[in-house]
Amino acid sequence: MSNQTNAGTLVLKLDTITLGIGCPANLVGPIQDGASFSVPFDTSAIPTSITLTNAAQENFTASQAVTLLPNQATTEVVWIYTGTLGATVFGQSQTITKVVLVGSGDKPAGWSCGISFGSGCVIATGNAGDEVLSHFGDASSTEVR
């Protein structure tokens, strides 16, 4: 499944590992082997909020929907969730600690995303650059694949 949008829904494919501290092997292995997972966002409430939904997608289901709020401290269009969110990724339970979504418009190419698992492991869209990674503190921008 590729990145897509329709009727207020944005689905982004995450397939790049940004090295950090403690990347779980059951995330690293599949991505190094060419797998990805897709994350759904409800964008119908822009500019107030965006929701990471719990609708099942390719290799990903969140335990509940969570709201990403706009980051007012930047000139970029950045949406952030920080907290603890359970998710099933590649069939395994994981804990998400941060979601950063950058972009605008109705085309997936205008968006990038990074998700932190634990204290430093970031999985991102292939087009995620410094505008996403800078919101994860000391996570490196070194790609595994």
pLDDT, block means (10 residues), the chain with 145 residues: 61 85 86 94 91 96 96 77 96 95 82 88 90 74 42
What is d(CA 67, CA 40) in angstroms, rounded to the nearest whole number?
A: 12
pTM: 0.86
**What residue ranges do the domains of the chain occupy?**
8-136
Per-residue pLDDT, 96: 95
